[in-house]
Structure 1
Amino acid sequence: MNDRYGTDVLSGDWRAPARGRAQSVEAELGMVVEDVETGWCGAICRVEKAGGMHVVHLEDRRGRRKGFPLGPGFLLEGRPVVLTPPKQAERAALAAARKEASRTASGSRAVEHAPARVASGSRIFVEGRHDAELVEKIWGDDLRVEGVVVELLEGVDDLTAVIRDFAPSADRRMGVLVDHLVAGTKEDRIVQAARALPQSRHVKILGHPYVDVWQSVRPARLGLEAWPVIDRGRSWKHGVLAELGWPHTTQADVARGWKQILGSVRSYSDLEPTLLASVEELIDFVTVPQGVRHP
């Protein structure tokens, strides 16, 4: 039998507008919308916050522009929409932060979830604890991935003996970072003697010209134009701390001063290029794949 009264007019969403309910849409640049009240149709060219409210600017096909309060009252492809503030800037900032976080302090691409390798036979030797702590802060992640250990020399006076004891070979390379490696210095004479050893083909000795590794930190990180010049015969570290106006009497003062300097270092960009180049070259030297003979 036919239903003489037809379907139930109250069934379904009978309150819904003919064009459907408005959906929230981000106001993306270039999106073409129409203002329902005025009939103005144009592409979104700018969204800004003015007077405590968001305003969307539409540019019509003649190049004319007009602003409207962001929110309801727009049509997109004939359907009602509620325009919301765009989040492209937030997404771009988040993407940039993620990209930055995906790199180590040395600028290398971070290897996620990679366990530290079992230590290889090759080593990098540095003069003192401060050198080791700086190398760890900037290159520690890279060295753990490669399985390279950093060891202390406690000075370079016995460098030739250390090399003989280490017994470097093609698969057991030795990199050495020397402070104040300048022509004519004591350090230079020690390095020249070490390079004359028969085992030297498996050893790379590089350095930097600074009196101490502290100087490899860019002075701007401490608010300085340049590191203080300390007279010969005066303890360099104690002298620097004194010039900076920091406590400088005891070794504990030196330790606290270095901790503050090291804390100012965020990444490789806070170090001088000479140190960066030397450490990067040493890492390359000691991480040559097994079976590859270094010239």
Structure 2
Amino acid sequence: MSTPQPPMPQAAPDRWAAPGPAYAGYTSPIPVVRTNLMHAVASEWTKIRSVRSTLWTLGVFVLLVVGIGLLVGGVVAGTEADLSGSNPLELGFFGLLLGSMCIMTLGVLTTASEYGTGLIRTTMTACPSRGRVLAAKGLVFFLVSFAVTLVSATLVAVAQVAMLPGADEPSGEDWLRSTVGVSLYIALLGLLSLAVGSIIRHSAGAITIMIGLLLAPLVIALFMFSESLKDVQEFLLEYSIPNQLSVFYANSLSDSGPSGWGPLGIILGVTAVVFGIAFVLLQRRDV
């Protein structure tokens, strides 16, 4: 007669096993949401407003634009010169030219600083869609820089018109170009810097490149005394960033070249091309 065998021990249930019939009616309390561009925008907005570099660079920008604009307006008003036939809005050019370096610096830091700190790895892990990250950075930065520039340029324009009553009354076109036009140009210039920062991945290098792009063509053109280089000199003068910026104030440095809203189309085209290059490199290179 055979002895009865003891029952085989049952394996402990695996708590991480795939849900079976016993879990058929379970619903997770955590909602599952498909992420989109607006989630990335919210993340980038949190970044850009929570770092000190944003407040410092935008603060210096406002100080330069408003401070220099009011200073130049006060100096011109104190000369008691005949201002008939002049446009008082032209005096806003000087502050914006210097202030543009702050916007370019902030644009570079928006992307390149994450590579320096290693935060870019966390960013790409949270949002694997690299194109979405770059688009969100560009959108947030463009809106912030445009808004700050528009408020600063409008404040300076209003103050200069009030300080120089002897000058001609600006037309609606003059107001639009010296406020909205220059604000769009400066914001696109900063967006170009953002794309360069994404390509170079080094803050100091990208800032140097952008400042060189801002000043080098004009400085080189001023020292071209040879007659054989006359055409090159005119090209550099006409398409230098300071000259394109002055076009919005109807005060171009040359008699030919871009006019009206032309500089806006040029900077838009250049920014689109460089932004496309940054997008392609971001997809192909490792972070």
Instruction: Flag the structure with higher helix content.
Output: 2
Asked if Structure 1 and Structure 2 have the same fold, meaning a TM-score greater than 0.5 normalized by the shorter chain, the answer is no
Greater Cα radius of gyration, structure 1 or 2: 1
For normalisation by structure 2, the TM-score amounts to 0.25
For normalisation by structure 1, the TM-score amounts to 0.25
